[in-house]
Chains A and B, each alone.
Chain A
Amino acid sequence: MKIFEKDIEIVKVMSGNAGDIYSIQFIGDSQNELEKFLNEFGRYTKDPIFTAFGKIFNKLNTMKDETGFLPVFFERYKNGISKLLSRDRFNLRLYCIEVSEEEVITGNGGKKPGGRGRPFQSSARLERNVNILASLRPKLFSRMKENNVDNLYDLINLNKENAKFRISYEEPIE
């Protein structure tokens, strides 16, 4: 395990009728984490994993535009990090922080090797992606509490600096 300390910013990436999607961007990176996920899994329609990608995409889109980010659509770990799943042989997942039914922060994701039942720690990539969000989540909620707000929109509107965090997370060595 290697411990990284990095600066990130929470960025709003999409707005819909029912909710807003945020992502995180490492300072110095050209893409936010959601873009990395979209570019990796959504570009190649001939790849069988594209069907799994489509399922996650459709869920995110419907939540944004119609249902809001209802807790029933997510599965979550004990550390509070949620995942949107493709529920098929690829077990593709997109990791998220549920802020409210109207706001979600999307991280990156990936496919879980070995199917259901194996922990995310069995993949270094997935473990890294969960750890990033798990490091941010408590800091974010405590900042929201300090600022007496219950949503990201107000938090960032109060002060743009509120969107910036220094996180430290463990990254397994592959």
Chain B
Amino acid sequence: MNNLKNRTEELFRSLGSLIPQKEKRFTRLSMLIAAAINEGLKKNGGKTQKWLADRLGRKESQISKWLSGDHNFTIKTIVEIEDAVGTEILQINYIRFKQKASCLSNVYHIHEKPVSYGVNINSFQQFVLPQDNSFIQKVQQG
């Protein structure tokens, strides 16, 4: 059975190397967004796709299509869904730090190490502000 597992896995891997990276990344991002929406609905009292469709004034079949892992989401759609579900679906970890951190806003608390131009999809992460001011001190100390 182990041989069989290795054989199929090897075939899977070798065929996977023939698929263009950008297609892989597109499907992955679309699926992660769909998974995040799905999780948001679950955490929001187990809301259904029909509930989301009603909230957004769309057909249920449209929501189903969005969540199928093929959909090319627009930012506008994501914002609409985030508003409806009440969960942050997409985060972009680009934050520019001032040389002198004299005016600290909440956004500084989110990431200690900003990643320029990196898109990070954190399906289930909540923004929880730290209780102490250790991070502010770190920023001030440079």
Residues of A within 8 A of B (CB): 11-15, 23, 25, 32, 34-35, 38-39, 42-43, 45, 50-51, 54-55, 57-59, 61-63, 66-67, 70, 72-73, 75, 85, 87
Contact = CB atoms under 8 A, between A and B. Distances in A.
A12 B3 CA distance: 11
Interface of B: 1, 4-5, 7-9, 11-12, 15-16, 18-20, 23-24, 27-28, 31-32, 34-35, 38, 49, 64, 67-70
A42 B28 contact: no
Given A12-B5, A57-B19, A35 B11 contact: yes
A15 B12 CA distance: 12
Contacts of A58: 19, 23-24, 27-28
Contact of B70 (A32, A51, A55, A61): A55
Given A14-B5, A32-B4, A54-B19, A59 B12 contact: no
A23 B8 contact: yes
A70 B35 contact: yes
Given A11-B4, A13-B12, A66-B35, 18 more contacts: A11-B1, A14-B9, A34-B8, A38-B15, A39-B11, A43-B15, A51-B23, A54-B24, A59-B27, A59-B69, A61-B24, A62-B28, A62-B31, A72-B49, A72-B67, A72-B69, A73-B68, A85-B68
**Interface SS, B side:** helix
Contacts of A87: 68, 70
B5 to A, nearest CB: 6
A85 B31 CA distance: 13
A77 to B, nearest CB: 15
A38 B7 CA distance: 12
Contacts of A66: 28, 31-32, 35
Contacts of A59: 27, 31, 69
A88 B26 CA distance: 15
Contact of A13 (B8, B24, B69): B8
B15 A73 contact: no
B57 to A, nearest CB: 20
A54 B23 contact: yes
27 contacts: A12-B1, A13-B8, A13-B9, A15-B5, A32-B4, A35-B7, A45-B18, A54-B19, A54-B23, A55-B23, A55-B70, A57-B12, A57-B16, A58-B19, A58-B27, A59-B69, A61-B24, A62-B31, A66-B32, A67-B35, A72-B49, A72-B67, A72-B68, A72-B69, A73-B68, A73-B69, A75-B68
